[in-house]
Amino acid sequence: MRQEERIIRTEYSELMQKSFIDYAMSVIMARALPDVRDGLKPVQRRTLYDMYELGIRYDRPYRKCARIVGDTMGKYHPHGDSSIYEALVVMAQDFKKGLPLVDGHGNFGSIEGDGAAAMRYTEARLEKITQEFYLADLDKDVVDFVPNFDETEKEPAVLPVRVPNLLINGAEGIAVGMTTSIPPHNFSEVIDGVIAYMKNPDINTAQMMKYIPGPDFPTGGIVANRDDLTAIYSTGTGKIKVRGKVETEHGKGGKDRLVITEIPYTMIGANIGKFLNDVYSLVETKKTNDIVDITNQSSKEGIRIVLELRKGADVENLKNLLFKKTKLEDTFGVNMLAVVDGKPETMGIVPIIRHHVHFQYELATRKYNTLLARELEKKEIQEGLIAACNVIDLIIEILRGSRNIKEAKACLTTGDTGDIRFRTAKSKKEAAKLRFTERQAEAILEMRLYRLIGLEIEALMKDHEKTLASIAKYEDILGSRASMAKVIIRELEACRKEYGRPRRTALENLGEIIVQEKKIGEMDVIFLMDRFGYAKTIDVAAYERNKEAADAENRYVLACKNTGKICVFTNRGQLHLLKVQDLPFGKFRDKGKPIDNISNYNSSEETFIFVADLQEITGIKLLFGTKTAMLKIVDGAEFDVAKRTTAATKLAAGDEVLLVERLTGNETIIMQSENNFFLRIPASSVPEKKKSAVGVRGMKLGGEDTLTAVYLLGEEESRSVMTGGKEVALHRLRTGSRDTRGTKRA
């Protein structure tokens, strides 16, 4: 019998909302954000645990990354091999991580943005500190294990990390509706901060910063706003200004060199190439004439970018220019967001350390409870063996008289003599008094005869004494928080001693950058733009010598000042402003530069229809005409704006600008439609509007008809156009009224 379909009716918006929230939480919890306890994202945690399970330890041979990635993906992280390998590579890069967790062998990328080699070529193993302080004690029930994605394996919910990895290595992640960005810190300083918190849980942010004064980036550099760090570390959000380190080297003949030896953390990767291009641009646009050459001499030994300077260069002003105009000074946005008790939370530095310390107490409690249970079990067995040695003859008699192990075990545990044959009644009476535990009885039955040697018995007694001492020690640790704190602090101090390193990033208060830009001497130039959008400026004398060729080869020829701006109006209703000084100034036969490269103009989406000098149009009126026959007059002063791009007019959907032209006097406007209707109206009939207005209708269009052209004729001007194989004299058309149909001419 066919089962009837069940149709569940539900509100679509509610279903979408629920589904999106489920997706967002999955991304937040299972991918993008680190856990405050171990400072690791799930992919990092699973990769490290898989390496631990595979036995890829620091003192063993490297293994292929492809093996690690494949095993991690198959067992724990079913989200694609690229994300796993990328996480593995980053954990091995010492220029990204303050404390690398993976020891990489092969090409693991470079600070300049070179990618790592394919996973089939590279090898890796755990770093020593990762094995000793991130993965140790997993066999002591210190963390919970949860089923993997298909419930065929178990994986740790969190790694038993004993150092605050969230601060040491920092974190970056983009979730849904939230991001995390935590800078790396100095290993020794963070350990000092944790110890200080354990000694004084009421410590505040300012006091904590005596131990952790600020971030410590692997690339070094300088933090330029040290005074802002207190507020950042209190709230968990803010902006850190980071500068590169620049040194001056004196060369021969009074020529100096600027050498960049450390870069901002944000410049890692492709931004180094961008920095070099930005320096080239400063030279090309004549923002500075002090740089003669630039070379990137960076190597495995470190960063070294050399700027050769001309003789007599203003070194300090050039430094400030580089900080102001390039990535040599950048902003690191801080948002200290992590998962706390299953929820994302933004925290300051003290709450992060508080959560870490609570986690350490939890790890220590579970660890020493497990060790205590093991020692108590060992004590029980040892006491049983010691007691058995004292009555060994009786036990041997019991074993010889028993028919099976069950009878012997019952006699040892409960004194049940049953059918056991004894040599004497006294032995039977003594056997009935035996009360060993189950565990002791099993140990006695498994005991080998060599344990009866005198030295072995002495060793057993010494082991028993050690066991009793261990039990007393573990009970003291578990019974006293102060004792547990001493143990944790002792381990942290040993870790700091072995793995600590000096600070790399300097913390300073540097003022705002002041660049004294050289004033450009104002002069008259000629702006030239050809029909392909290549623009340049030339000297007036050069234009006069080549006037005929210049006028013939260029679509726009304008006289302007080298300190002025050029307006480019497009068919999309946009106005792009070009600074004349950004245009190349040179010889008449120089090619020029595309305006796409020096403005927001996009030649694939827009067409320029009118170009003018801003100073010229500021004192006149401009006429706008569009495809849907909308007309308006705008005061040119409205286009004197600070933005590089602004809306020159408001357009309806599907409309575009056909004409932008200067108004000088008693002109007339002629509109030509696709269906060959013509309408001539006086320009005075069009009202003046703001640039943000649509305008008024100039011609009534029928059906799907649109304008193909708008013409502006002077009072005595004559012009003719061809349409439908006929010539139409525009100046002979009868003048009509605005918003009428016009007359058909073909």
Residue 701, phi then psi, degrees to nearest 5: -105, 140
CATH code (residue 79): 3.90.199.10
User: Tokens 């590169």, residue?
Assistant: 244
The count of structural domains within the chain is 5
Tell me: the pLDDT tens digits for 155-206?
999 999 999 999 999 999 887 778 899 999 999 999 999 999 999 999 999 9
Where residue 304 falls among pLDDT bands split at 50, 70, 90?
very high
CA atoms within 13 A on the CB side of 423: 8
**Cβ within 8 Å of residue 264, ≥6 positions away:** 217, 219, 221, 242, 243, 244, 327, 328, 329, 330, 332
Q: What number of residues does the chain have?
A: 746
Does residue 276 form part of some domain? Answer: yes
CATH code (residue 363): 1.10.268.10
User: DSSP of 55-122, one letter per residue?
Assistant: T--TTS--EEHHHHHHHHHHHT--S-HHHHHHHHHHTT-TTT-SS--EEEES----TTSPPPPPTTT-
One domain, residues 576 and 644: no
One domain, residues 581 and 639: no
Give the pair of three-digit tokens for residue 181. 């960005």
One domain, residues 437 and 369: yes
**Cβ within 8 Å of residue 718, ≥6 positions away:** 729, 731
Average of per-residue pLDDT across 371-377: 92
Share of the chain above pLDDT 90, in %: 57
One domain, residues 570 and 524: yes
**Cβ within 8 Å of residue 275, ≥6 positions away:** 263, 267, 305, 326, 327, 328
* CA–CA distance, 660 with 594 (Å, rounded to integer): 22
Which of these ranges, 366-370, 437-441, 543-547, has the smallest mean pLDDT? Answer: 437-441
* Residue 549 CA: distances (Å) to CA of 545, 552, 554, 727: 9, 5, 8, 31
Average of per-residue pLDDT across 117-137: 95
* Residue 105 CA: distances (Å) to CA of 56, 401, 624: 13, 65, 66
Does residue 371 form part of some domain? Answer: yes
CB 603 within 8 A of CB 550: no
Specify the 3-state DSSP secondary structure of 479.
Answer: helix
Longest CA–CA span in the chain (Å) reads 148
Does residue 2 form part of some domain? Answer: no
One domain, residues 138 and 35: yes
One domain, residues 322 and 374: no
- What is the chain's mean pLDDT, rounded? 89
* CA–CA distance, 498 with 229 (Å, rounded to integer): 29
Q: What is the pLDDT of residue 400?
A: 81
One domain, residues 578 and 681: no
One domain, residues 364 and 492: yes
Specify the 3-state DSSP secondary structure of 235.
Answer: helix
Does residue 342 form part of some domain? Answer: no
Closest CA to 244 of 222, 266, 228: 222
Q: Sign of dihedral through CA atoms 54, 58, 64, 70? A: positive
Domain end position, chosen among 145, 161, 177: 161
One domain, residues 641 and 553: no
Predicted structure pTM score: 0.73
Where in the sequence is the domain holding 362, given as residue range(s)? 356-497
* CA–CA distance, 590 with 528 (Å, rounded to integer): 11
Q: Is 478 left (phi over 0), alpha (psi -120 to 50) or beta?
A: alpha
CATH code (residue 250): 3.30.1360.40
CATH code (residue 655): 2.120.10.90
Which of these ranges, 51-60, 598-607, 627-636, has the smallest mean pLDDT? Answer: 598-607
62-68-69 Cα angle (round to 5) = 140
Look at residue 70 and tell me whether its pLDDT is greater than 60. yes
Tell me: the pLDDT tens digits for 457-477?
788 888 889 999 999 999 999
Which of these ranges, 57-61, 657-661, 717-721, has the smallest mean pLDDT? Answer: 717-721
Tell me: the pLDDT tens digits for 628-644?
999 999 999 999 988 88
Q: What is the pLDDT of residue 1?
A: 46
One domain, residues 578 and 624: no
Residue type, 313: A
Does residue 389 form part of some domain? Answer: yes
One domain, residues 367 and 282: no
Tell me: the pLDDT tens digits for 222-264?
999 999 999 999 999 999 999 999 999 887 777 889 999 999 9
The count of other CB atoms within 10 Å of the CB of residue 308 is 16
Average of per-residue pLDDT across 418-431: 80
Per residue, the 3-state secondary structure of 307-347, as one string, reads EEECCCCCHHHHHHHHHHHCCCEEEEEEECEEEECCEEEEC
* CA–CA distance, 127 with 117 (Å, rounded to integer): 20
Tell me: the pLDDT tens digits for 521-578?
788 999 999 988 899 999 999 999 999 999 999 999 999 988 889 999 999 999 999 9
Q: What is the pLDDT of residue 95?
A: 92
Does residue 484 form part of some domain? Answer: yes
Give the pair of three-digit tokens for residue 436. 């060993």
Does residue 514 form part of some domain? Answer: no
Where residue 4 falls among pLDDT bands split at 50, 70, 90?
low
Tell me: the pLDDT tens digits for 676-714?
899 999 999 999 999 999 999 999 998 889 999 999 998
Q: Which residues are known to be catalytic? A: 121
CA dihedral 637→639→642→644, nearest 10 degrees, is -160
Domain end position, chosen among 161, 177, 209: 161
For residues 103 and 18, the model is more confident at: 103
Does residue 197 form part of some domain? Answer: no
Domain end position, chosen among 440, 466, 497: 497
Q: What is the pLDDT of residue 176?
A: 75
Q: What is the pLDDT of residue 399?
A: 81
For residues 456 and 369, the model is more confident at: 369
One domain, residues 598 and 634: no
Share of the chain above pLDDT 70, in %: 96
Q: What is the pLDDT of residue 455?
A: 59
User: Tokens 């535990």, residue?
Assistant: 437
For residues 432 and 648, the model is more confident at: 648
Q: What is the pLDDT of residue 432?
A: 82
Q: What is the pLDDT of residue 26?
A: 66
Closest CA to 221 of 301, 318, 329: 329
